[in-house]
Structure 1
Amino acid sequence: MTQVPAAYQATRGSILDVDRDFYARLTDPDARERVDSLVVPIRDGRAWQVPAGHVLRLSTMEGPQVGDFNLWHLHNPRERFWASRTRQLQRAHVSTFDRLWSTLPYLRPMATIIDDTLSGYGVDEQGGRVHDLLGTRCDPYVNRLLTGEDFDHHCHSNLVRAVRTFGLTEFDVHDVLNVFQCTGLNDDDKYFMKACPAREGDYLELFAEIDLLCALSCCPGGDLSVDLWGPDAGDPLLTCHPIGVEVFRLDEALLEDWQPPEPSPYASGHGLQGPAIDWDAEKRRRLNERSP
């Protein structure tokens, strides 16, 4: 089968044309200092700050575990991670040198993935891939719809609790990057989830392009080896593990030529100023130009 080219493609020198040599240098363990660490407990969430120019590491510290990840601009939470645009600009499952993009009207990279111990997982026999942007967080509203029961520790609720100390609310929680999660689309074009392939000590590292507020939920589904809904649903509590969070300050020499990306330079006119354009007339004019 002939592969159809991607709709969104990087041009040389554009912000999508990532300097891989630069980001690869940021993984040097001897050129960094850990300045913060915490543990996200099972079936719970935590929020924390990452200054621009620092590295964030998320790790499966005791065994396989899926996490639901949100990001905001620390100083302006209206600018937040845009999962669907990241899926278009990068891919549906992200890994090293992919970027996490912010919402309009800002549209800039919030973070760049610089290391991923699961990058070699590739595509499995069912079409599963890791670090998912296809799906979103589990939530108590869908759970109520599917089961008729209330459960307050879905990822959505965990994130709601986590960000309250930073003045954010449920309305600020948004579509996620599902770290360490293995997903795909089946032959019916329906979303599936598989058991997490991560093992103790696996990690994902991101370079903060701007000052970030981050939040992570340890999914109550644990490693997703137990069905959460449907006829075979069970309680996956025994498959749950914490996720470790570490923040590293980099050697200043590594960042000598780096600058945080600016928001989109689009002038935000949106056609609200100036005369209206008669697009039908313009179309007719161009058709006439083509006529012999």
Structure 2
Amino acid sequence: MMTTEATLTMVDNSEPAGTNDSLKSPISADGTPELGRVYEVPARHGRAVRLKRGQTIKIINTYGTQVADMWAFNAGQMSEFMSMEHLHAWIDRVNPRPGDQMVSNHRRPILTFKTDTSVGVHDTLIAPCDIYRYRTLGVEGYHDSCADNLRLALKAIGLRTREVPGSLNLWMNIPFDGEGKIQWLPTVSKPGDYVEFDAEMDCIVVLSACPQDIVAINSNKPLPVHFSVH
């Protein structure tokens, strides 16, 4: 294979299409949380949090109607991350339940799904929203997105990801029928419903309070979610 200047150029997908306060408001300089403190992920924004192995993160759907996109990265090797494609093969189901190991693209546990007080409707199929998604929905100019919230939240604590992995879309309600046709429906969770995940390795968890306000997955009104680490 002939090597060209183009093949030697390392191109990645780490740069956001725009910016918001996710870049300016990390929970701490390196994402280390104060244990037991409840943090807010503001509507349309993202936050990154550093977990040590054995710690538990609790994520709260404070108002009941909000989707939260979630990622997890190996703190020592950001190229290893929680992978929805690998999860499907690991659990032999589309959606995880408490007790399931959430595996990485290296096919090893990064988190364990511990608790779910909701009815258990989450999504692992839909890609995080991005500027291209909003353009196809008719948006002109910049629109906050989960993909950019991931990039900005990581950048706020001095980290980056070369790619935007598929997210675990907490409380996102995307039913599908026997022919595989999907629907985009509002959440079926209640105010105060929460999930908990145990860290199986030192990792960085990123949460985005999804900014989607065109398709009705957030009842067209993005709202904050909250989290704490124990």
Give TM-score, length-normalised by structure 2: 0.77
Counterpart position of 2:85 = 84
The alignment yields a C-alpha RMSD, in angstroms, of 2.4
CA–CA separation in structure 1 for the residues paired with 2:77 and 2:160: 14
**Residues paired across the two proteins, number:** 196
Q: Map Cα deviations across residues 11-64 of structure 1 (whole Å, 9 max, x no partner).
A: xxxxxxxxxxxxxxxxxxxxxx94443110001111111110011100012332
Q: Map Cα deviations across residues 188-226 of structure 1 (whole Å, 9 max, x no partner).
A: 42332211111211000001000110111101126x872
1:53 aligns with 2:54: yes
1:244 aligns with 2:211: no
The alpha-carbon distance between structure 1 residues 36 and 77, as it changes in their structure 2 partners (threshold 3 A), is farther
Task: Please point out which of 86, 96, 100 is paired with 2:102.
Answer: 100
Q: Which runs of 5+ in 2 are unaligned?
A: 1-33
SS at 2:172's partner residue? strand
Counterpart position of 2:138 = 147
SS at 1:131's partner residue? coil
Give TM-score, length-normalised by structure 1: 0.62
Counterpart position of 1:164 = 155
Paired residues of 1:136 and 1:177 also in contact (CA < 8 A): no
Counterpart position of 1:72 = 73
Task: Please point out which of 189, 207, 221 is paired with 1:216.
Answer: 207
SS at 2:208's partner residue? strand
* Greater helix proportion: 1
Paired residues of 2:40 and 2:226 also in contact (CA < 8 A): yes
Q: Which runs of 5+ in 1 are unaligned?
A: 1-32, 123-129, 229-234, 249-292
SS at 2:173's partner residue? strand
Which structure: larger Rg?
1
Matches within 5 A, 1:170-181: 171-181=162-172
CA–CA separation in structure 2 for the residues paired with 1:145 and 1:171: 24
Paired residues of 2:173 and 2:217 also in contact (CA < 8 A): no
CA–CA separation in structure 1 for the residues paired with 2:76 and 2:156: 15
CA–CA separation in structure 2 for the residues paired with 1:227 and 1:147: 17
CA–CA separation in structure 2 for the residues paired with 1:172 and 1:48: 19
CA–CA separation in structure 2 for the residues paired with 1:132 and 1:180: 7
**TM superposition outliers: structure 1 runs of 4+ over 4 Å:** none
CA–CA separation in structure 2 for the residues paired with 1:139 and 1:165: 19
Displacement of 1:138 in angstroms is 1.0
Q: Map Cα deviations across residues 45-85 of structure 1 (whole Å, 9 max, x no partner).
A: 11111110011100012332101111101111111111111
